[in-house]
Amino acid sequence: VKSPAEPDLPRTTRRATIRDVARLAGVSASTVSRVLHGAEQVAPDLADRVTSAVQALGYRHNVAASNLRRADGSSASIGVILEDISNPFFSAIHRGIEDVARDRSVLTFAGSCDEDAHLERELVEAFLARRVDGLVIVPAAGTRDHGYLGRDMQAGVAVVFVDRVPRFLDADTVVTDNARGARTAVSHLAAAGHRRIAFLGDHEHLFTAQERLRGYREALTQHGLVEDPALVLHLGVRAADASAVAIALLERAFPPTAIFSAQNLITLGALSALQQTGRQHDIALAGFDELPFAEFLAPPVPVVAQDPYALGRTAAELLFSRLDGYTGTPRKLVLPTRFGL
């Protein structure tokens, strides 16, 4: 209910369009467009007038509108879906992607799906509705089928999976050599004489957890050890959980003499458990993923280090090679790990 005496004064001024610029410069919109795109065949004085008008009006190019008309219809943006953008492992992947994208003036959307398949799908669709040129995805553990993406790939969207493999879809993928990394670490423990080595991993339906368990088993076999199912534990990734589970493990009647923790936060939990029970010098520990404070630990904990930044860079490179016209068969890259203190 508004009185006619109080007209609705917009407190926001309308954005200048290319026509406004054209009018002020006394040229046509086409000429402005040409100047904006650095075309050569514009008279210098006209170009100057256009540039001044752009400045004067605070004109900002609208890439969405531009993209609509353009032939290739590239939006110069990509979408990144991670488990959690605030987890250092994933944010390093994110940064790797960003750096490669930035070199091509491509912007990056990012979203966390918190291991939720439904959220993952929602993010994919939201990105696609913004017409991203490509998608980099760390699949949620629960996603049963990525096949629906086939049609979008057909339509020209470049899709690359990182850290975990897609299901029911043949697409470019970059993962770490999880099995080999785990095998190396567990072999190290076995070589030191341990025969009862526990495996502490996260959700058993997680690709990386499965692969690391596989590596653990390979190492046992390799050293002539028999797996004791009671020593293989799967849990959530929260450090608090891991700590409680590890304490229970250590307080068993017949505890392990060594622990292989298959993930970052789990190593933290195991560390805490060893500290709380005062067993840090009795029970050996080795882990997957780097620890930022490894040097301050006594005794030191050897870890399998992956390179998440390289994971991200490599994924982005695969993505852009597709956008550059590569149409070959999907590439499956496996990046090595480094084991040590």
Partner DNA sequence: CTGTTAGCGCGTTCAT
Partner DNA sequence: ATGAACGCGCTAACAG
85 binds a second copy (CB under 8 A): yes
Return the one option of a second copy, DNA, none that residue 91 interacts with (CB less than 5 to 8 A, by type).
a second copy
Return the one option of a second copy, DNA, none that residue 1 interacts with (CB less than 5 to 8 A, by type).
none
Name the minimum Å distance from CB 145 to DNA: 25
Toward a second copy, which CB reaches closer, 179 or 259?
259
Tokens read off for 47: 């170009």
Contact 303, 339 (CB under 8 A): yes
Name the minimum Å distance from CB 124 to DNA: 17
Return the one option of a second copy, DNA, none that residue 175 interacts with (CB less than 5 to 8 A, by type).
none
In the list 91, 208, 261, 306, the residue contacting a second copy (rule: CB under 8 A) is 91
Toward DNA, which CB reaches closer, 15 or 205?
15
61 binds DNA (CB under 7 A): yes
Toward DNA, which CB reaches closer, 68 or 192?
68
Binding mask 214-253 for a second copy (x = CB under 8 A): ----------------------------------------
Return the one option of a second copy, DNA, none that residue 155 interacts with (CB less than 5 to 8 A, by type).
a second copy
b/e code 2-37 from CB counts within 10 Å (16+ = b): eeeeeeeeeeeeeebbbebbbbbbebeeebbbbbbe
24 binds DNA (CB under 7 A): no
130 binds DNA (CB under 7 A): no
- Please write down the HEC assignment for all residues of the chain: CCCCCCCCCCCCCCCCCHHHHHHHHCCCHHHHHHHHCCCCCCCHHHHHHHHHHHHHHCCCCCHHHHHHHCCCCCCCEEEEEECCCCCHHHHHHHHHHHHHHHCCCCEEEEEECCCCHHHHHHHHHHHHHCCCCEEEECCCCCCCCCCCHHHHHHCCCEEEEECCCCCCCCCEEEEECHHHHHHHHHHHHHHCCCCCEEEEEECCCCHHHHHHHHHHHHHHHHCCCCCCHHHEEEECCCHHHHHHHHHHHHCCCCCCCEEEECCHHHHHHHHHHHHHHCCCCCCEEEEECCCCCHHHCCCCCCEEECCHHHHHHHHHHHHHHHHCCCCCCCCEEEECCEEEC
102 binds a second copy (CB under 8 A): yes
329 binds a second copy (CB under 8 A): no
Name the minimum Å distance from CB 216 to DNA: 49
125 vs 152: CA distance, rounded Å: 10
Binding mask 59-78 for a second copy (x = CB under 8 A): -xxxxxx-xx------x-x-
Toward a second copy, which CB reaches closer, 83 or 211?
83
151 binds a second copy (CB under 8 A): yes
Return the one option of DNA, a second copy, none that residue 156 interacts with (CB less than 5 to 8 A, by type).
a second copy
Toward DNA, which CB reaches closer, 28 or 321?
28
How many other β-carbons are positioned within 10 Å of the β-carbon of residue 73? 12
Contacts with DNA by CB under 7 A lie at: 14-15, 17-19, 26-34, 36-37, 40-43, 46, 61-62, 65-66, 68-71
Contacts with a second copy by CB under 8 A lie at: 11-15, 58, 60-65, 67-68, 75, 77, 84-88, 91-92, 94-95, 98, 102, 105, 107-112, 125-131, 151-152, 154-156, 268, 271-272, 275, 291-293, 295-297, 309, 327
